[in-house]
Amino acid sequence: MPKRVKELTAREVDRLKAVGDGNRRVMVGPADCAGLHIRLEGGAKHWAIRIKVGEQRRDIGLGTYNGKIGVTDEAAARLDGLSLAEARSKARDVRYAVRVGSMTTTPAAERKATVASASAAASQVKTFKECTALCLADKSGEWKNAKHEKQWAATLETYAFPVIGSLPISGIDRGLVLDVLRPIWATKSETAGRVRGRMETVLAWAKVNGYRDGENPAAWKGNLEHSLAKRQKLTRGHHAALPYPAAPAFMAALAKREGLSARALAFAILTAARSGEVRGATWDEINMDAKLWTVPAQRMKAGREHVVPLSNDAMTLLAALPRVDGSPLLFPAPRGGALSDMSLTAVLKRMGLADLTQHGFRSTFRDWAGETTAHPREVIEHALAHQLKDKSEAAYQRGSLLTKRQALMADWANYLMGANDDAENPSGD
């Protein structure tokens, strides 16, 4: 038979003291609030009830002891804590709640669960700026180059972050998106279109990753198209190009220029290649025996490997290049690394042809080949690594057409190197 706990009086409870500097727990009874006890910790007294909740026996704190001995009820009401009678009443309430099932956990456990829930909810709150960074990290493999990724992020940093960057992404609505776009929609149409698309991407990423719900407020169709004017498609201007009759004299003048930038420009013209393809070219991409230059897919605009047949003049240019120790590049910059994207244009400026661009020489090649030769159009387009819109023509282009392109590039080199004294000198020298 379990030991019967003595039912203490209020005065007996008031006289209880801790043993020395230690702690002490004294059961106070009666039987209908079994487990009620007072903790004596130094000079402090705290009420608690020891009871089984669920599968575990726990101590549930009820409050401090206020010592309402010898004071009036009015004065006692102003004191903090619980008297013996109030502690017994509260203990009975706890035992009843456990018995009927309305208490399945302790208040402390409930507070802990609440804190954990709040912490989990807080971890799901991300700002637009934070989501942009996470989105960029997830999509890092999609960029053609680091420059494209920086441009992607820079547009949002410049136009979106000042308005919505610090806001929770879950609260970004259509009105806030319009606040970003309206100031630049008419004056910076092309940029505004990119900003809208990139905001849409970040918001879509946030929804998939659980940081927001609902429709995408940056979507165009069925959404922003009803609030913003449709942007007029801009007609892209052509890169300034040298007329092909003046190309041989230009190459003769270029040959007199010193420096790797001038040689890189000459190589780009001989191969009808883009600036980035040439500036990033490495020696292991060159097959000197087969007279071929294989440009890897990651450096091509179309994202596909491109094989360029090298004419005898292009091979002669390569053979004369110095090999720089420690650099795999054909045309390394003086301080290491690749030449800048303005290095070839700088050569044109020094020659007094600031109105021209390196890219424009691809148009020079295209005009020469189309107007003065019998080489098929698909061969010419393949030499330029162009994507063809016509599906049947594109299907025919799937082959490398290498033999035909070798003949085309040989004719181009022969034309360029056929400068004579009567040709117009475009260099100003």
Report how far residue 133's alpha carbon sits from residue 139's, in angstroms, rounded to the nearest whole number: 10
Note whether 361 and 254 are same-domain residues: yes
Quote the CA–CA distance of 191 and 151 in Å, as a whole number. Answer: 11
Question: Domain check: are 140 and 190 in the same one?
Answer: yes
Q: Comparing 168-177, 260-269, 319-328, 420-429, which segment has the lowest mean pLDDT?
A: 420-429
Q: In Å, what is the CA distance from 148 to each residue of 141, 192, 227, 237? A: 12, 17, 29, 21
Q: Which domain holds residue 322?
A: 244-416
What is the distance between the alpha carbons of residues 357 and 350, in angstroms, rounded to a whole number?
13
Same domain, 180 and 289: no
Span of 114-118, 202-206, 327-331 with lowest mean pLDDT: 114-118
How big is the chain by its Cα radius of gyration, in Å? 41
Domain co-membership, 143 together with 93: no
Model confidence pLDDT, tens digit, residues 4-28: 667 888 888 888 876 655 567 888 8
Considering the domain architecture, whether residues 190 and 265 belong to the same structural domain is answered as no
CA distances from 86 to 10, 12, 66, 331, 408 (A): 11, 16, 10, 90, 103
Is 228 a residue whose pLDDT tops 50? yes
- Verify that 218 and 304 share a domain, yes or no: no
- 360-374: pLDDT as tens digits: 899 999 999 999 999
Strands (E), 239-351: 286-287, 292-295, 306-309
Residues 176 and 86 occupy one common structural domain: no
User: Are 320 and 401 in the same domain?
Assistant: yes
Chosen domain end from 172, 198, 226: 226
Does 79 fall in a domain? Answer: yes
- Which CATH number do you get for residue 173? 1.10.150.130
Q: Which of 18-22, 92-96, 259-263, 364-368 has the lowest mean pLDDT?
A: 18-22
Residue 396 confidence (pLDDT) above 50: no
Task: Please report whether residue 236 resides in a domain.
Answer: no
| Residue at token pair 């706990």 | 5
Task: Indicate whether 52 belongs to any domain.
Answer: yes
The number of CA neighbours under 13 Å toward the Cβ of 346 is: 12
Whole-angstrom distance, CA of residue 319 vs CA of residue 331: 13
Residue 265 lies in a domain: yes
User: What pLDDT is stored for residue 279 in this prediction?
Assistant: 92
From 226, 253, 272, give the residue that closes a domain.
226
Of 259 and 100, which is predicted with more confidence? 259
pLDDT at 236: 41
Within a domain: 232: no
3-state secondary structure of 168: strand
Distances (CA, A) of 140 to 130, 134, 147: 15, 10, 12
Same domain, 272 and 340: yes
Rounded to the nearest integer, the mean pLDDT of the chain is 81
Q: What is the CATH number of the domain that holds 407?
A: 1.10.443.10
pTM greater than 0.85: no
Q: Which of 63, 86, 120 is the last residue of a domain?
A: 120
How is the beta sheet containing 44-53 ordered, strand by strand? 23-27, 36-41, 44-53, 56-64
Token readout for 321 is 């290049």
> Does residue 84 form part of some domain?
yes
Residues 315 and 354 in one domain: yes
Give the dihedral of Cα atoms 382, 294, 259, 320; nearest 10 deg. -110
Tell me whether residue 283 is in a domain.
Answer: yes
- State both tokens at 20: 């020395």
Same domain, 254 and 280: yes
* One domain, residues 115 and 175: no
Could you tell me which of 260, 258, 297, 298 has the C-alpha nearest to residue 279?
260
Is residue 235 a part of any domain in this protein? Answer: no
Could you read off the pLDDT of 37-46 as tens digits, one per residue? 888 876 678 8
CATH number of the domain enclosing 85: 3.30.160.390
The domain total for the chain is 3
Candidates 25, 17, 38; CA nearest to 81 is: 38
Q: What is the pLDDT of residue 332?
A: 92
The pLDDT, as a whole number, for residue 46 is 84
